[in-house]
């Protein structure tokens, strides 16, 4: 019989079973369910990877700045609470960010997870969620910030490429690194083949990082160092099987 999660006492607000991040197992004793808001702009494959990861999390909001984002439809089909906040309807970045923050706060989210969210966020917004705002970027930061990271990697001729999960800081694609995964750049690679290889790793490390965050195993020090309780397990996740 499929496990039907009972709303844990720690969960605030309404408790719709479908919002629980598809846990197939009951959470371990003492595990607190975290409320997470997932922000997307497009197809939402990283969001899907998170939803399938049986995290000790309740997805309390899926928000897109693009009302036509495919991921919004797939989240809605799963019965998740979705919202489009169209950035084009806002005269300034600050006004959009204020609407976004209002929606996040109304959802009661403890963690804000950028999963292919393609808007640059204002410093005020980022500061507001310091230590609770994470992103996945398709390169081994600090290399290849911004857009077209796979094109940048091919142009630079690197032999190793990859992806990074990091806390967000006001500087674009910058911030304390939680986990990275590396993949080889192979002869004959083009942007599409390299992107596909990196995406496999994105789908592996983002759920892992979120699990650590949900389990309160990630400590962000004042100097920007990130410490993960159970560091041996963390080290095991650093290399793609493709590199072994
Ligand atoms: C991913 O490669 C993510 O790292 C980048 O944009 C892409 C979004 O993909 N920021 P998806 O929407 O998660 O499928």
Instruction: State the CATH number of the domain containing residue 142.
Output: 3.40.50.170
137 is known as an active-site residue: yes
| One domain for residues 177 and 109 | no
Q: Residue 1 has what pLDDT?
A: 28
206 CA to middle of ligand 1, Å?
11
Residues with CB under 6 A from ligand 1: 40, 42-46, 71, 115-116, 136-138, 199, 202
Shared domain check, 193 and 90: no
Q: What is the pLDDT of residue 127?
A: 96
Statement to judge: residues 119 and 194 lie in one domain: no
Catalytic residue among 87, 90, 137, 161: 137
- CA 44–ligand 1 middle distance (angstroms): 7
What span, in angstroms and rounded, lies between the C-alpha atoms of 63 and 186?
Answer: 36
Of residues 244, 139, 240, the one with CA closest to residue 181: 240
Boundaries of domain holding 116: 1-129
**pLDDT for position 3:** 29
Looking at residue 230, its pLDDT comes to: 82
Q: What is the pLDDT of residue 244?
A: 45
100 with 179, same domain: the answer is no
Q: Do 111 and 198 belong to one domain?
A: no
Q: Are residues 82 and 148 in the same domain?
A: no
Same domain, 48 and 152: no
Instruction: Answer yes or no: is pLDDT of 15 > 70.
Output: no
Which of 129, 163, 195 corresponds to the end of one domain?
129
In terms of Cα–Cα distance, which of 95, 99, 92, 67 is closest to 82? Answer: 67
152 and 123 in a single domain? The answer is: no
Same domain for 125 and 4: yes
Residue 228: pLDDT over 50 = yes
Strand partners, 180: 164
In terms of Cα–Cα distance, which of 198, 123, 134 is closest to 166?
Answer: 134
CA distance 244 to 240: 7
* Alpha-helix residue ranges (DSSP H) falling in the chain: 45-51, 70-77, 93-107, 123-128, 149-156, 191-214, 231-235
Task: Examine the domain organization and report whether 59 and 140 are in the same domain.
Answer: no
Distances in whole angstroms, Cα of residue 15 to Cα of each of 9, 18, 60, 80, 103: 10, 9, 9, 11, 18
Same domain, 145 and 220: yes
Per the structure, how many domains does the chain have? 2
Q: pTM of the predicted model, to two decimals?
A: 0.86
Last-in-domain residue among 77, 110, 129 = 129
Q: Which residues contact 136 (CB under 8 A, 6 or more apart)?
A: 46, 114, 115, 116, 163, 164, 165, 202, 205, 206
Say how far apart CA 197 and CA 183 lie, in whole Å: 7
> Are residues 157 and 80 part of one domain?
no
Give me the residue label for tokens 């989240």: 75
Q: pLDDT tens digit string along 34-75?
A: 999 999 999 999 999 999 999 999 999 999 999 999 999 999
Of 129, 149, 164, which marks where a domain is finished?
129
Atom of ligand 1 nearest to the CA of 44: 12
What is the tens place of the pLDDT at every residue in 178-219? 999 999 999 999 999 999 999 999 999 999 999 999 999 999
Q: Which of 199, 201, 206, 209 for a ligand 1 pocket mutation test, highest count of atoms within 8 Å of Cβ?
A: 199
Ligand 1 centre distance from Cα of residue 28 (Å): 30
């Amino acid at each position: 019989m499929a496990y039907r999660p009972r709303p844990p006492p720690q969960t605030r607000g309404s408790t719709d079973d479908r919002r629980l991040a598809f846990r197939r197992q009951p959470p371990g004793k003492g595990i607190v369910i975290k409320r997470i808001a997932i922000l997307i702009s497009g197809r939402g494959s990283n969001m899907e990877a998170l939803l399938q990861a049986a995290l000790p999390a309740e997805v309390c909001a899926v928000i897109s700045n693009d009302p036509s984002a495919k991921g919004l439809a797939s989240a809605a089909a799963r019965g998740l609470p979705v919202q489009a906040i169209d950035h084009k309807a806002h005269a300034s970045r600050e006004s959009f960010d204020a609407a976004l923050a209002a929606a996040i706060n109304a959802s009661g989210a403890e963690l804000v997870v950028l999963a292919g969210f393609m808007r640059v966020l204002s410093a005020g917004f980022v500061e507001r969620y310091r230590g609770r705002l994470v992103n996945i970027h398709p390169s081994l930061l600090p290399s290849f910030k911004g857009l077209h990271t796979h094109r940048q990697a091919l142009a630079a001729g690197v032999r190793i490429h990859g992806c990074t999960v990091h806390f967000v800081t006001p500087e674009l694609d910058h911030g304390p690194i939680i986990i990275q995964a590396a993949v080889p750049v192979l002869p004959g690679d083009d942007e599409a083949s390299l992107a596909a290889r990196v995406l496999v790793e994105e789908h592996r490390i983002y759920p892992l990082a979120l699990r650590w965050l949900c389990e309160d195993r990630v400590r962000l020090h004042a100097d920007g160092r990130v410490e993960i309780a159970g560091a041996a397990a963390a080290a095991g996740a650093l290399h793609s099987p493709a590199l072994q």
